[in-house]
Chains A and B, each alone.
Chain A
Amino acid sequence: MNLKAATRLSLFWLMAPLLVWLIGLIILPHADMLAISLRERVAVRTYEFSFANYGEFFNEPLYWRTFARTAIMSTVATALTLLISFPVSYYIAKMLRGRLKAFLFLLCLVPFWVSELVRTFGWMILLRESGVFSNLLQWLGMADGPVEMLYNDATIMVGLVYTSMLFMVVPLVTTLDSLEDAQVEAGYDLGGNAFSVLRTIIIPHAMPGIVSGCIVVFMLTLGNYLTPVLLGGKDNLWFTAQIYTQFITRFNWEQGAAFGFLLLGLSSLIVWSGLKLSRQTLTETMG
């Protein structure tokens, strides 16, 4: 066996676990889902190739409106998460030193040691009619009767931003950490003020972190199921809930699979146009 063949063989064995995982758990199920989504039941156990499931999405306003609502809510949640995380990250990365810095960073992580389900129930305990806030407001005399704070869009937004914070803070802290203090000082020294230094030096430097954080948060929010369903209640429409309904409640796997692929395609399209708008490339932000 010559050296080249040996190298190839060892590369193959090194790659093998990854390939098994990729093909077995990602590519095969997705291929099967794609096949399912592209067929239509014409009679019992008789299927025909058709785009009808995809057509359904565009013909039935409920579906595409649910998707549009999900996409818009996710975009707003991403923007809010960025707005809240940026000052927090800047404070952690640039203003603090040593142990306090590590401690605050850890504080951002701590909530994620608890499962998302438990955290969301935590919010429900706080916000429900007989919950902590409601009782507090009554006790303070600011409300006459029990206040229901669950089951509306604002609550969903709070839950989504809370769940997403970490995924924005981590890339932001990492990129802001690499910003030399001297760069900011040079900006001031050459006559810049707080706003122009932020706009021309800090944000351009942090751009890769901002973009990768936004992509991760957007995708997570768009694909989130627990938070919108638990905090938004039954009447709240979220696209992943629609997919769940098709698969589990209506047992319409064809429609569910088609929705799944539409979610994948449309969200990729949104991310792609976001990258185009901010003139960033995926390799640049992820690399």
Chain B
Amino acid sequence: MSDSAETYDLECRNLVRRYGKFTAVDNVSFGVPQGDFFSILGPSGCGKTTILRMMAGFDNPTAGDILIKEQSVLNVPPNKRPVNMVFQHLALFPMMSVAENIAYGLVRKGLPKHQIAEKVKSALGRIDLPTSGDKSINQLSGGQKQRVAIARCLVLEPAALLLDEPLGALDLKLREHMKVELKKMQDQFETTFVYITHDQSEALVMSNHVAVMNAGRFEQIGTPQELYYHPDTAFVAGFVGDSNRWHGKVERVDKDGVKVVSSDGVELLATPAGDTPLKEGVEVDIFVRPESVVLAEDADRISGMENRIDGELVSILFNGANSRALIRDRATGGELDVALPQTGEFSTLNRGQQVYLGWGMTQAKAFAATGDDNGRAV
């Protein structure tokens, strides 16, 4: 996505924010093109909210630059910046009606009354609340409040809308629904969205581009598919999606891949990934997605695969289409998460039953271990 000729609606250059000795945001650069749905995904405390607040103007960077429509906004106060923010708890004004909330920014801009009324009416129509203008905020449901909070910003036609985990307070069902809704609203208003979240599924479902953030730095920026299938770092591999992990030492490197002996003694063949080239004796982390592992009741079916394990079924974690089987490795006692095929062919598996697992070398990604805890999915 970093085509230098491209113009960005919103851009951060070498952004740094320090609080005393603590560096919350450490040299972060990125650009968000016009109309993009850009997410910053990271565990809590990684500095993503700090970035958003600096873009909105509530916080000042220690170093670096923020550009909106190619203009530096470092010295522009929040009420003059052409970006608007949807707050985590929405921050709708409870003493005003729905229509007054939406009109708030327009009134501050000093637009004529009839124009404000017109814009509010059309905004209410677009968020499917055409008759709710006179209602008080407390009469709305959680999802409706959400839409009002977004409409309140979008009537101002900002260069970008900044969203600070606005779905966090909703229950699961509504959250799933709002994901789709948000995406639709973005298409309808054709506005650039910058969305921060710690929930990987929100980021993957809605975004065109996702930046994965950890400890103040961006680990990787890419499309959801790139992050999922081609993680650049161990952190991304561990944080985005679920994975089975092994920690081990490289025993042999050849042109196709590496042979690794894990700390509990399993021999694994894997493909090197990440920036650091792997050498013999290097400590590595290996990641294998649950859906890459083939589950079989007889050993012949997986005989063609590079990695094979004999196991016994510990339990089935039934969850509809996302059902998993928990398998214990007979040799080491380690446990693996395996996705069950949706055909229902393994629905009769019994606890303790002998099963065979296999996966290809290309499905196992080996990253040089960095020593820190590589972001077990939250």
Residues of A near any B CB (own CB < 8 A): 180, 182-183, 185-193, 196, 200-201, 204-205
Contact = CB atoms under 8 A, between A and B. Distances in A.
A98 to B, nearest CB: 16
A193 B87 contact: no
Contacts of B87: 182, 185-186
A190 B152 contact: yes
Contact of B91 (A182, A192, A196, A204): A182
B342 interface: no
B78 interface: yes
B108 A189 contact: no
Contact of A180 (B84, B85, B89, B109): B89
Nearest to B155: A190
Given A180-B89, A182-B88, A182-B89, A190 B95 contact: no
Interface centre among A185, A186, A192, A201 (most CB of B within 10 A): A186
Contacts of B88: 182
Nearest to B77: A188
B20 to A, nearest CB: 15
17 contacts: A182-B87, A183-B93, A185-B58, A185-B91, A186-B85, A186-B87, A187-B104, A188-B77, A189-B57, A189-B85, A190-B79, A190-B84, A191-B79, A192-B108, A193-B79, A196-B108, A200-B96
Contacts of B79: 188-193
A10 B113 CA distance: 61
Contact of B105 (A183, A191, A205): A191
Nearest to B92: A186
B156 interface: yes
Contacts of A204: 95
Nearest to B78: A188
B153 interface: yes
Interface residues of B, number: 24
Interface centre among A186, A190, A204 (most CB of B within 10 A): A190
Interface in B88-111: 88-89, 91-93, 95-96, 104-105, 108-109
A57 B95 CA distance: 44
Contacts of B109: 191
Given A183-B91, A185-B78, A191 B108 contact: yes
B110 to A, nearest CB: 9
B278 interface: no
B213 interface: no
B135 to A, nearest CB: 18
B148 interface: no
B156 A190 contact: yes
B56 interface: yes
A190 B153 contact: yes
A111 to B, nearest CB: 34
A205 B203 CA distance: 35
Given A182-B87, A182-B88, A189 B93 contact: no
Contacts of B58: 185
Contacts of B104: 187, 190, 192, 200
Given A191-B105, A191-B108, A186 B91 contact: yes
Given A180-B91, A200-B93, 20 more contacts: A182-B89, A185-B78, A186-B87, A186-B91, A187-B93, A188-B77, A188-B78, A188-B79, A189-B85, A190-B79, A190-B104, A190-B156, A191-B79, A191-B108, A191-B156, A192-B104, A200-B96, A201-B93, A204-B95, A205-B95
A183 B91 CA distance: 5
Contacts of B80: 191
Nearest to A193: B79
Interface string B69-88: 00000000111100011011
Contacts of A200: 93, 96, 104
A193 B91 CA distance: 17
A190 B89 contact: no
B137 to A, nearest CB: 12
Contacts of A182: 87-89, 91
Nearest to B89: A182
A190 B89 CA distance: 16
A190 B108 contact: yes
A205 B91 CA distance: 13
Interface centre among A188, A189, A205 (most CB of B within 10 A): A189
Nearest to A184: B91
Interface in B47-72: 56-58
A188 B91 CA distance: 12
